Amino acid sequence: MERERIIAQDSLRQELDSLYLACLDGEIPSALFHYTDAGGLLGIIDTRRLWVTHTFYLNDVTEISYTHGLVGELVEELQKEVKPYAKEKSTYEVAHSMYSGFLQRLRYDTMRIKPNPDVYVVCFCEDDDLLSQWRGYGNRGSGYAIGFDTERLVHPSHAFKLRKVLYHIEEQKQILNKILSAVRDSLFSRLTEVMSFDSAESLAEEYAVIFENEVARYATFFKHKKFQEEKEWRLIYSPTENVYSNQIKFRSGRFGIVPYTEIGLPDGKNNDHGGLLPIVSVRIGPTAQPVLERKALDMLAGGKYPDIEILKSDVPLR
């Protein structure tokens, strides 16, 4: 029985991984841009590292709960379709009871412990001169948009992954439906086997955890459609991967204390964190003084990034 359980769950995880990779297909822009203020730019240039923020402490406080809300809607529809079995104390009655409990376990409005993965992200935009980004993240126009070469940023050996943020609810629900269907079908095929009530309950709990952990992967790059103007991409990093230091730091944020950590690139020689980040450009914000800023940037980046392109914003913002 244990061997069959392992085989079934391994097969399910392979199917879920295939679904995950399939939804990420598409062309990656040659460059992506990170909006920041002067302190952020200095930190990135000097330390050769990026700050990645815990997903629970991003500016959009509803971000993770947004995906959980979509799951709740899907589960509610499935619960309406569940019909009671006429026969009691049969294998199918046990399966039906456990399946109903499994669906209830997935509802994010129930009083149950939910997964709390420590996942960190740093955000990028496809556009390096976007008004909303200057206002929201570029110090109201006096900051900078740092351009990164994505080909060098997404090397397979890196402990972080680049993901495009998805905004369309139809696409999001379609993906979640595929995940839920795969988990449900795998679970139900096992529940119809002859097993005790306790064994069935334990199995349903295992599959609920698998589903919730899978949802957590997608919650890091699912956002409400109202944010689609941001054209956002993210580097997603989990300290549990144990490739980089797991040391967590803290900074002051809009809503209080914000946990973050730092990531860098190997230098290609001794595989430490001293490699230069693949910075290719810096665009000066629309409310900054372009002549003075350009001179300062030339002095700052000249020794480390001699080929960096320095640009001025064309946004008419005062």
Residue 230 lies in a domain: yes
Please report, to the nearest 10 degrees, the dihedral formed by the alpha carbons of residues 62, 68, 71, 73 taken in order.
Answer: -50
| CA gap 161, 21 in Å, rounded | 12
pLDDT tens-digit series, residues 242-285: 544 457 889 888 778 998 988 887 654 434 445 789 999 999 99
The yes-or-no verdict on residue 110 having pLDDT over 70 is no
Distance CA 147, CA 128 (A): 7
Q: Residue written as tokens 């993906």?
A: 175
Query: What is the mean predicted confidence (pLDDT) over 165-183?
Result: 94
CA 74 to chain centroid, in Å, comes to: 21
**What are the angstrom distances between the C-alpha of 116 and each of 81, 209, 217?**
30, 12, 11
Tell me the pLDDT tens digit for each residue of 19-72: 988 877 678 999 999 999 999 999 999 899 999 999 888 877 677 788 988 998
Distance CA 279, CA 298 (A): 14
Mean pLDDT for the stretch of residues 186-205: 74
240 compared with 50, residue with greater pLDDT: 50
Lowest mean pLDDT across 66-70, 192-196, 234-238: 192-196
Report pLDDT for 274.
52
Query: In percent, how much of the chain has pLDDT > 90?
Result: 41
Cβ atoms 163, 233 nearer than 8 A: yes
Domain that holds residue 75: 2-312
List beta partners, residue 251.
258
**Reported pTM:** 0.86
Q: Which of 10, 65, 28, 37 is nearest to 234 (CA)?
A: 28
Instruction: Kindly state whether residue 317 falls inside one of the protein's structural domains.
Output: no
Tell me if 261 is assigned to some domain.
yes
CA distances, 292 to each of 140, 284, 288, 305 (Å): 18, 11, 9, 19
Q: What is the mean pLDDT of the chain?
A: 83
Residue 1 has pLDDT above 70, yes or no: no
Helix or strand or coil: residue 25?
coil
The set of residues, in sequence order, having a beta carbon less than 8 Å from that of 290 and lying 6+ positions away, is 284, 312
Inside any domain, residue 47:
yes
Domain count, the chain: 1
Give which of 33, 29, 184, 6 is closest to 96, Cα–Cα: 184
For residue 118, tell me if it sits in a domain. yes
- For residue 179, being part of any structural domain is answered with yes
Cβ-contact 142, 285 below 8 angstroms: yes
**Residue 318 forms part of a structural domain:** no
Give strand pairing partners of 249. 260
Domain annotation covers residue 193: yes
pLDDT at 146: 97
| Residue whose token pair is 């679970």 | 187
